[in-house]
């Protein structure tokens, strides 16, 4: 350790101050810079991967949702979104259709295109959408990871709105929205129970043509994995509220997905 004691006594107050500054800079030249705590962002950005599979019955829509990560900046979320399918083990050449242009999304009149980063179609017609959803950072989450990803386990309350066209006999997922982010599953479940209801606006369970809620100790209400609330309107719109956990993608089967809608 450096000996910072003066070898010559200061002769004046100015000399003393100069000596103190000299000692400070000598010490700090050998010490590490202080680590500043990361800044808490106002918003956080969720990367959502949704998959629509068409099986032998084209009217039986199967929607799969995974949230591989939440990020503290939009730039980091965009980078993660554009590597999402590669992280899941897919190659670019696997998809006959692979679009990243907002102009193309508008031209094709794609549903749920707000925040859409990637639209890809596999040879069997399976559709992959990678979106970024922005929410307020109510939990004051932050990270020290270089890629900007929040590393702690998170539970998301996600609402999906599915429209059924009786004439065409087809269902279309119109919106997938992150309604809340939590660090505790039970808190997320409690919040999910009220997503489709509003006493203030007079929207009660009886306001819907059908309303089903998962019971205590149940993880779903019979409308897909992790779907804890399902409601239907008189006009063919189905509302599904799910609680899912963030999950990093790897070269694994996406059949083990977190949510199915349809």
Percent of the chain with pLDDT over 90: 53
Report CA 223 to chain centroid distance, whole Å: 22
- Confidence at 251, pLDDT banded by 50, 70, 90: very low
Strands, sheet with 127-136, edge to edge from the N-terminal-most edge strand: 97-99, 116-121, 127-136, 43-53, 62-71, 259-261
Q: What angle do CA 79, 240, 53 make, to 5 degrees?
A: 60
Q: Is the pLDDT of residue 48 over 60?
A: yes
Name residues whose C-beta falls within 8 Å of residue 50's C-beta, 6 or more positions apart in sequence.
63, 64, 65, 112, 128, 129, 131, 173, 176
- Confidence at 250, pLDDT banded by 50, 70, 90: low
| Segments making up each domain of the chain, as ranges | 43-261
pTM, two decimal places: 0.78
pLDDT digits (tens, 9 = 90+) for 144-174: 999 999 999 999 999 998 887 666 666 677 8
Residue at token pair 């993608």: 249
- For 160-191, give the secondary structure using H, E and C: EEEEEECCCCEEEEEEEEEEEEECCHHHHHHH
pLDDT digits (tens, 9 = 90+) for 65-105: 899 999 999 999 999 999 999 988 899 999 999 999 988 88
CB 217 within 8 A of CB 51: no
Distances (CA, A) of 152 to 32, 69, 83, 156, 170: 27, 10, 21, 13, 39
- Confidence at 262, pLDDT banded by 50, 70, 90: very low
Helices (H) and strands (E) in the chain, counts: 4, 11
Q: 3-state DSSP call for residue 250?
A: coil
Radius of gyration (C-alpha) of the chain in whole angstroms? 26
**How many other C-beta atoms can be found within 10 angstroms of the C-beta atom of residue 198?**
11
Give the residue, 158 or 257, on which the prediction is more confident. 158
Residue at token pair 């993880």: 219
What's the rounded Cα separation, in Å, for the pair 70 and 72? 7
| Beta-bridge partner residues of 258 | none
């Amino acid at each position: 350790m450096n000996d910072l004691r003066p070898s010559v006594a200061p002769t004046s107050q100015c000399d003393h101050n100069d000596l103190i500054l000299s000692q400070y800079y000598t010490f700090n030249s050998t010490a590490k810079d202080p680590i500043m705590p990361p800044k808490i962002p106002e918003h956080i950005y969720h990367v959502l991967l949704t998959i629509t599979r068409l099986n032998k019955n084209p009217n039986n829509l199967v929607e799969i949702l995974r949230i591989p990560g939440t990020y503290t900046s939009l730039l980091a979320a965009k980078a993660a979104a554009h590597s999402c399918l590669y992280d899941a083990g897919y190659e670019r050449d696997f998809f006959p259709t692979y679009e990243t242009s907002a102009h193309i999304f508008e031209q094709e009149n794609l549903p749920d295109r707000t925040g859409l980063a990637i639209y890809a179609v596999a040879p069997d017609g399976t559709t992959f959408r990678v979106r970024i959803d922005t929410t307020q950072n109510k939990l004051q989450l932050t990270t020290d990871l270089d890629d900007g990803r929040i590393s702690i386990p998170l539970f998301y309350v996600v609402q999906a709105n599915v429209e059924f066209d009786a004439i065409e006999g087809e269902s279309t997922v119109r919106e997938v929205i992150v309604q809340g982010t939590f660090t505790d599953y039970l808190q997320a479940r409690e919040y999910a129970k009220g997503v489709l209801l509003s006493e203030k606006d007079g929207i009660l369970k009886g306001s819907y043509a059908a309303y089903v809620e998962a019971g205590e100790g149940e993880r779903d209400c019979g409308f897909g994995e992790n779907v804890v609330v399902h409601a239907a309107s008189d006009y063919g719109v189905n509302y599904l509220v799910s609680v899912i956990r963030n999950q990093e993608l790897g070269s694994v089967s996406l059949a083990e997905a977190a949510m199915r809608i349809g």
